[in-house]
Each structure stands twice: as structure tokens, then as C-alpha cells.
């Protein structure tokens, strides 16, 4: 049985990935400081799978405590590194907190891996590393650039990981560049739980549930078919399965886009949510959000060709599962 250390495993994508790993027979160890999550998500994953997770409430900024985890858990085969701060707007306001947490946390983790001989790591990167991409759909080989401190941390972490692999031929690094993860596990037991949502779908979910009065559409004058921004939304369970495929087939440094290859506009997303949830969902057009681009969708074939991994769930499933989670857990895990 392979053993995987999941940093940030109590969070949104980490909890779904831990569930997939347990179901596929992996042993899962989670390290998380719960700064943006709740231990309840781990309990629910255990309940859903009927399997145990070893959980350490540890901050990656605390190198000694991180090393203690790796020493206590010998024979870790791979690490999936989700733990990071991820709010773009906040990163502009508080850049040092973002650089410190995301970069120092990653360096501590890599040092601890080196000291204990763990050589395989899958990293949560983001489409944000393409900045304002010129070529759409964007291939993995496109020029990179970030437009905010959060994006800079993702770019830097990609570079640090790649340099570490260059220096150590035993090391395998897979960088997964996620597009827009949405939805929840079909049980409705785990899902995304932001108190103050920044991303579109969690905001729409909370409007549908009556927690917020209306959704603001950030601009309808983009050069897109209906004037609103177009993104590639991917079901979080498809994304979780991509992580399992990645750790099952590590080989040097690899970089993959993880998306579906199909883009939807803001208006299309809201309309689908209206139809599936039966909620009215008031919407108001407002100014563009600073830093937004008109359209960002990936070339999504490489991960299919090399890892045999393809997104199976469509928009209806994404929204049905998001709504199931939201309506079943109006306060997320905070009840």
C-alpha cells in the first residue's frame, strides 16, 4: 500500500483528493494548520470511505514540527502539496503574508523531504501562471507571467520545485495547473466552504441559498460571445482523480493543465445554476474586476495522452453537486 502525505488535506481540493486516494487503497497522512479549513472535513472523508486518516495539525512554517511528522511517518512514497493561501485580492493587500506562507512553507517542506529521503511531489499550481495568455486555448508551453502576488508565489514554487529536481536526479515533480475547480463530492458531505467567497461559483451558491442577496457580474463588455468572462470549470472530483493519476505515474519533471477544454461564460454559469437549483439568483452587472482576463481555457490533451486522465463530469454534474453540498450544509462545516 502506497503512503501519501497530503499537505492542506483538510481544504477543499485536498479533502476530495484524500477521499479518492483512500478509495483507491492508498494510506493517507494529512498535514494542515486549519487556517482555512476544518477538521470536520477529514472526519467526513473517513466516514464516507470507512477508512482512517492520520492527521497532524501542523503549520508548514514550523519546520521542526514538519520534520517531526516526516520522521514519525516513515515510508512516505509521495507528497501532494496543496497547503497555501489562495485569495488573489488578499495577496495584493498582504503580499508578505502570501510570500512567507507559500514560499517559506514550500521550502520547509522540501528540506524536510530531502532530509528524510522522500523524492516524489505533486504540486497544486494554477492557470494564473499564464497571466494574460495570448494563445487560447493555452498550452503548457505558453509563456509564463503573474499579475498578482498569489500568482507570483505559484510561479516561484514551480521554479523552486523544478530546480530541486534538476539538482537531485531521484526527484520526481509533477506540476498540475488547475483551471477553475467547482462542485463537490456527490454525497453532499464535503465541498467548498468559504466564509467570504471570492470565486464565482461559491458566490452564486450562497446567493441561491439566500445567504447573499445577489451576484455581481464583473463586466459584460469583454470580447466574448455574451460579453462576460469565459473560464474552464472542472469538477473537483475529476481534479482529485487527476492527482491520483499523477502520483501513480511520476517520472522526472512534468507539467499538466487540468481542465475540461470547454469554456463557459459567467452568464451561462448563473443561468445553469438557476435552472438546476430552481432559485431565482439575482444578478447585477458591475465594473470589470482588476486583473481579470476575457477568456482563459486550456489545451487539456497532454494529461490525457500521458496519464490517461480525462475529465468525465460535465456542467450539469458540477452544478448539481455544488448545489447538493450547499443546500445540505448552509453554513459549510461551521455549524
Q: Pick what 231 binds: ligand UD1, ligand NAD, none; C-beta below 5 to 8 Å, kind-dependent.
A: ligand UD1
Beta-sheet pairing, 172-178 with 27-32: unpaired
Q: What are the angstrom distances between the C-alpha of 330 and each of 154, 185, 194, 195, 209?
A: 31, 16, 11, 11, 7
> Closest distance between ligand NAD and the C-beta of residue 105, in Å?
4
Q: How far apart are CA 164 and CA 160, in angstroms?
A: 6
* 36 interacts with ligand NAD by CB under 6 A: yes
Q: Which residue is nearest to ligand NAD (CB)?
A: 11
The C-alpha cell that represents 114 in the structure block: 530531502
Q: Which residue is nearest to ligand UD1 (CB)?
A: 229
Q: How far apart are CA 192 and CA 16, in angstroms?
A: 10
* 33 interacts with ligand NAD by CB under 6 A: yes
> Closest distance between ligand UD1 and the C-beta of residue 93, in Å?
13
Please say whether the beta carbons of 281 and 215 come within 8 A: yes
> Closest distance between ligand UD1 and the C-beta of residue 61, in Å?
21
Q: Pick what 215 binds: ligand UD1, ligand NAD, none; C-beta below 5 to 8 Å, kind-dependent.
A: ligand UD1
Q: Pick what 13 binds: ligand UD1, ligand NAD, none; C-beta below 5 to 8 Å, kind-dependent.
A: ligand NAD
* 325 interacts with ligand NAD by CB under 6 A: no
Question: How many CB atoms sit inside 10 A of residue 275's CB?
Answer: 12
> Closest distance between ligand UD1 and the C-beta of residue 283, in Å?
9
Q: What are the angstrom distances between the C-alpha of 182 and each of 109, 201, 237, 310, 325?
A: 27, 7, 9, 16, 11
Q: Pick what 88 binds: ligand NAD, ligand UD1, none; C-beta below 5 to 8 Å, kind-dependent.
A: ligand UD1
Q: What are the angstrom distances between the C-alpha of 149 and each of 95, 129, 131, 242?
A: 6, 11, 12, 26
DSSP single-letter state for residue 289: P
Dihedral sign for Cα atoms in the order 234, 238, 241, 246: negative
The one among 13, 22, 138, 190 contacting ligand NAD by CB under 6 A:
13
Nearer to ligand UD1, 145 or 291 (CB): 291
* Of 12-20, 246-254, 264-272, 314-322: span binding ligand NAD (CB under 6 A): 12-20
> Closest distance between ligand NAD and the C-beta of residue 81, in Å?
7
Nearer to ligand UD1, 68 or 220 (CB): 220
Q: How far apart are CA 263 and CA 136, in angstroms?
A: 11
Shortest CA distance to 164 belongs to which of 112, 127, 128?
112
Contact letters for ligand NAD, residues 189-228 (x by CB under 6 A): ----------x-----------------------------
First-to-final CA distance of the chain: 35
Nearer to ligand UD1, 69 or 183 (CB): 183
Q: Which residues are catalytic?
A: 150
Nearby residues of 278 by Cβ (< 8 Å), 6 or more positions away: none
Nearer to ligand NAD, 262 or 285 (CB): 262
Residues forming the site for ligand NAD (CB under 6 A)? 8, 10-14, 32-37, 59-61, 82-86, 101, 105, 124, 126, 178, 180-181, 199
Amino acid at each position: 500500500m502506497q503512503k501519501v502525505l497530503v499537505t492542506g488535506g483538510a481544504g477543499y481540493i485536498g479533502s476530495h483528493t484524500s477521499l479518492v486516494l483512500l478509495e483507491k487503497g492508498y494510506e493517507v497522512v494529512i498535514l494542515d494548520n486549519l487556517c482555512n479549513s476544518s477538521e470536520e472535513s477529514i472526519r467526513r472523508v473517513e466516514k464516507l470511505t470507512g477508512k482512517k486518516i492520520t492527521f497532524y495539525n501542523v503549520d508548514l512554517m514550523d519546520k521542526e514540527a514538519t520534520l517531526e511528522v516526516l520522521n514519525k511517518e516513515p515510508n512516505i512514497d509521495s507528497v501532494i502539496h496543496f497547503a497555501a493561501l489562495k485569495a488573489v485580492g488578499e495577496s495584493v493587500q498582504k503580499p508578505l503574508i502570501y510570500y512567507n506562507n507559500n514560499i517559506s512553507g514550500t521550502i520547509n517542506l522540501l528540506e524536510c523531504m530531502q532530509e528524510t529521503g522522500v523524492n516524489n511531489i505533486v504540486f497544486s499550481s494554477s492557470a494564473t501562471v499564464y497571466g494574460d495568455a495570448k494563445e487560447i486555448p493555452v498550452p503548457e508551453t505558453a509563456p509564463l507571467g503573474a499579475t498578482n502576488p498569489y500568482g507570483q508565489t505559484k510561479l516561484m514554487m514551480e521554479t523552486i520545485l523544478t530546480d530541486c529536481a534538476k539538482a537531485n536526479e531521484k526527484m520526481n515533480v509533477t506540476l498540475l495547473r488547475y483551471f477553475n475547480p467547482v462542485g463537490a463530492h456527490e454525497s453532499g458531505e464535503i465541498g467548498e466552504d468559504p466564509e467570504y467567497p471570492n470565486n464565482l461559483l461559491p458566490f452564486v451558491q450562497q446567493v441561491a441559498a439566500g445567504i447573499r442577496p445577489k451576484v455581481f457580474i464583473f463586466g459584460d463588455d469583454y470580447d466574448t460571445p455574451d460579453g462576460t468572462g469565459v473560464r474552464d470549470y472542472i469538477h473537483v472530483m475529476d481534479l482529485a482523480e487527476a492527482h491520483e493519476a499523477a502520483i501513480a505515474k511520476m517520472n522526472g519533471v512534468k507539467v499538466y493543465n487540468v481542465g475540461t477544454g470547454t469554456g463557459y461564460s459567467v452568464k451561462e454559469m448563473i443561468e445553469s445554476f438557476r435552472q438546476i437549483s430552481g432559485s431565482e439568483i439575482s444578478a447585477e452587472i458591475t465594473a470589470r474586476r482588476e486583473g481579470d482576463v476575457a477568456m482563459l481555457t486550456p489545451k487539456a490533451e497532454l494529461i490525457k495522452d500521458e496519464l490517461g486522465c480525462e475529465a468525465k463530469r460535465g456542467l450539469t454534474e458540477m452544478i448539481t453537486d455544488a448545489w447538493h453540498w450547499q443546500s445540505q450544509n448552509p453554513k459549510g462545516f461551521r455549524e
